[in-house]
Structure 1
Amino acid sequence: MTSLNLGPLAIPMQHALLYLGFFAALLAGWVAGRKHKTNPEGALFAMLIGGLLVARLAFVGQYFEQYAAAPLSLVDIRDGGFLLWPGLLAAALVGGVLAWRRPVLRQSLAIAVLVGGSLWGSGQALVSALERSRQLPALSLMDLQGNPVELRELDGRPLVINLWATWCPPCRREMPVLVAAQKAHPDVRFMLVNQGEQAEAVSRYLTEQGLAPREVVLDSGNRLGQATGSFGLPTTLFYDANGRLNHSHMGELSSASLEHGLRQLP
């Protein structure tokens, strides 16, 4: 499952787990601090903001070449460009400094971090384990010429599947990034699976935009999204050469976040 559905709203699972862990930390800190009439809420927000800021800066630094081509994309965090470990270290440092300056916060802040971190970490581990146990679904789709395409017919390369639609603005924005990646990474197979549209509409859109991606496939019944638990668009699924899901990304890809996803493939 790549997303959590709340009615018509699809939230990336990683974001949902972060929200859940943080609110659990706020609640645990409030309960633990009532005895001493203190609340670590401010410290927890400082840790969160500091961690996210450093995680973003570390990611931008690692992929600066990609961001340099489009400087405004540095602040566009919709691409999910964050590095985990620098962010965690920064959050721990902020929390340590605040606890050192205000000893009264130490107990409640430690309990809050333990509860929230445990919930978030265990959730991440569970979702990651479930993802990595999934094989490429045995589905037969159609290309733009009406020919059948068997998803499990692998060719020895890792496979990147992008679920998209022409009516989806972030899908449209990331399409040139995927087309460029197809040309730059011939050792990786890219399959762009359109969700729920007819061949004529898809072909017309690609022609109007001057795009010529390889392996555009039609999934008129949205079966692949349902089979993989990917209910939000765009979603990109990264499979190894054996058809096992390695990881996924829900939301718009930048050239940097796509490169990061490709580097995680075995």
Structure 2
Amino acid sequence: MKPMNFIWFFLLLITALLTSSIWTVPVNAHSGDVLGAYTSNAPTIDGIIDEDAEWGNAATVTFDIPEGDATIYVMNDRRFLYIAAKVSDNSLDEIVNVGLDIFTIDFDVRHDGLQFNVGEDTISIGARNRVGDGFVGPGLDILDDQMINVDGMVGRVGNYNHFEIVHPIDSGDANDINAVYGGTIGVRFLLFDESGSDKRTITVYPKGVSADDSDQSNWADISIIAPPDDGSESSGLPITEIGIVVVAVGWAAYIGWIIRKRRS
């Protein structure tokens, strides 16, 4: 292939790739509620939500619950997804199998907005720091994952219970979320108050979503945010804009070469 033919082919290829990236629309199969934020400083998972410092970069949502209000915090760094919940409650219920306060996160791993089905990921943190890492099994029941990729702590501050939990963005475990920077994962959050007792209550976010319904179409989304220096910025310009400049200069040089060749 002649050198200029190769350059012409290369410019066409790069132009096509950039055009596809510009016009690609992110898939959103859920309610439209999106939580996502990047942090360079991992929070200390100790059951105490430091809103101003450790969780200051988090995306948040606050909503009403039977005992007052709850706030959920979401952020990620290069390796982990961090989620916390601050929940109004008159006590931290800690009696296993009789009355236990639990914070559970169910993921729509495939992000298809269809059914909470085989292979979906679910994690939880409960009073007494009982960590759960499970998945939807063949019988559509929740099975314990043999590879535990969750850590968390629970504490109480004033009239609020604090739940903090951390989960790898991509652990390599087939039963976990396997996300990428810029990717989106469907999610619902469940707050169990006195789980196991006759007085148990379950609050689900987004509002209107049921704990018993497997339909994922109205779930929220978590967006995995790329690190600022992970190819998204260079010399103050996003990589797509840099590519456009490079291609424009390349086309100008190629057209100039064609004009000069014809004149000669």
Q: Classify the TM-score, shorter chain.
A: under 0.3
Bigger fraction of residues in strand: 2
TM-score, normalized by length of structure 2? 0.24
Q: Which has the higher helix share?
A: 1
- Structure having the higher Rg: 2
